[in-house]
Amino acid sequence: MSAATKTARSVAALIALITWAGLAAQFHATFALVDSLGSTLAVLLWYFTITTNLLVAVVFTGIAIGREPFAHPSLLGATTLSILLVGVIYGLLLQELSGGSAIANVLLHMVTPILVPIFWLIFIPKGKLNRRDPLLWAIYPLAYLFYALICGEFTHRYPYPFMNVKELGWGRTILHAFLIAACFLGASWLFVWLDSLLTLRIPQPSDTRSLTK
């Protein structure tokens, strides 16, 4: 294992540890309120912040222990864009509404959305993405949106104010969803362009297997 690989896996382990710590802190805070394991999991998995940070925790744990599939450029691209979306939406729309564990709030909304893109910039080989990748990456946030709205129809509760059909109506909710989806896709294609641009500027390792050997 090269020094660069050791460093990358060590940093991945640190990011995984931070993310698991944030998830654990949020789990503890939620469990203290609902006092039920099943209800706690149901509440937490209702939030895009939690599901995305869980994705980060799993992917970076996989990289840290040397599992090659977790270092796939497209998977890392999807993970990076999704956690960036968490940070941006929190910063623009939700910062004044956040609750729960203060530690979890900082780790899950601020720290991971910063560390994951930095990891991608420094350690991930560039030039491996293509223009079809953003369409694949969009499946996850769209699936989450449908899941949250369907749950909201039954529970009459919604995880975020901008998708609260009860207060906003379907028209404004769909408009918000369209705007967020358009921004996500635009950012995704910009991300692919940046990946291609950095290929020309920075010498690259041959493939992502260097992260897992």
- Average pLDDT on 69-82 reads 92
For 43-57, what is the mean pLDDT?
Answer: 93
Instruction: Please give the average per-residue pLDDT across 110-118, as a whole number.
Output: 95
Model confidence band, residue 1 (pLDDT cutoffs 50, 70, 90): very low
Q: Which residue has the higher pLDDT, 206 or 82?
A: 82
Alpha-carbon span 160 to 139, nearest angstrom: 19
DSSP per-residue letters across 117-184: HHHHHHHSPSS---TTHHHHHTHHHHHHHHHHHHHHHHHS--SSGGG-HHHHHHHHHHHHHHHHHHHH
Domain count across the chain: 1
| Calpha distance 118→112 (Å, rounded) | 10
Query: In this predicted structure, what is the pLDDT of residue 95?
Result: 65
H helix or E strand, kind and range, residue 78: helix 73-89
Question: CA separation (Å) from 120 to 1, 73, 188?
Answer: 20, 9, 14
Q: Can you give the pLDDT at residue 61?
A: 97
pLDDT band at 133 (very low <50, low <70, confident <90, very high): very high
Give the pLDDT band of residue 102 (cuts 50, 70, 90): confident
Q: What is the pLDDT of residue 91?
A: 80
Give the model confidence (pLDDT) of 142-188 as tens digits. 898 888 888 888 888 888 888 888 888 888 888 888 888 888 888 89
Which range marks the domain in which residue 150 is found?
3-211
Give the model's pLDDT for residue 158: 83
**Structural tokens at position 57:** 């925790």
Q: What is the DSSP letter of 69?
A: G
Q: At 30, phi and psi to the nearest 5?
A: -70, -40
* Half-sphere CA count of 146, side-chain side, radius 13 A: 5
